[in-house]
Amino acid sequence: ASAGERSTRVSGGCCGPQQRRHQQGKVTVKYDRKELRKRLVLEEWIVEQLGQLYGCEEEEMPEVEIDIDDLLDAANEEERALKLQETLVDCYKPTEEFIKELLTRIRGMRKLSPPQKKSI
């Protein structure tokens, strides 16, 4: 997902398309640009790794959803690893290295969900 897509999704479905397009910039500004860039690089890496694990192009890949914010919510590394193992349960190649590397890469990252207190 590109930063633009994420902004649209975050801004919610309450507004018409024109309003949403207008608000998109504001929503993105709430986030630290460096964090966004890190997240994008990580997402691209994940897609590339999944392509290798499943031995196919992105378009042919089975539905695999790795939610970085969900992983960051986990209590500890073990819980994160378990979530990833469950997600990749149907992958026939060994996933240990991918999981270990992903956990290393997300260490120190922050969630990108907007603060819940603010009402839009």
Q: What is the per-residue DSSP string for 99-115?
A: HHHHHHHHTT----SPP
Q: Is residue 19 part of a domain?
A: no
DSSP 12: -
Q: How far apart (Å, rounded) are the C-alpha atoms in residues 46 and 87?
A: 13
Q: Is residue 114 part of a domain?
A: no
Q: Is residue 104 part of a domain?
A: yes
Contact 89, 62 (CB under 8 A): no
pTM, to two decimals: 0.65
Q: What is the pLDDT of residues 23-47, one digit of tens each?
A: 555 555 566 788 889 999 999 999 9
Count of domains for the chain: 1
Provide the 10 A C-beta neighbour count for residue 37: 11
Q: Which domain holds residue 53?
A: 33-108
On the question of pLDDT at 114 being above 70, the answer is no
Q: How far apart (Å, rounded) are the C-alpha atoms in residues 68 and 117?
A: 21
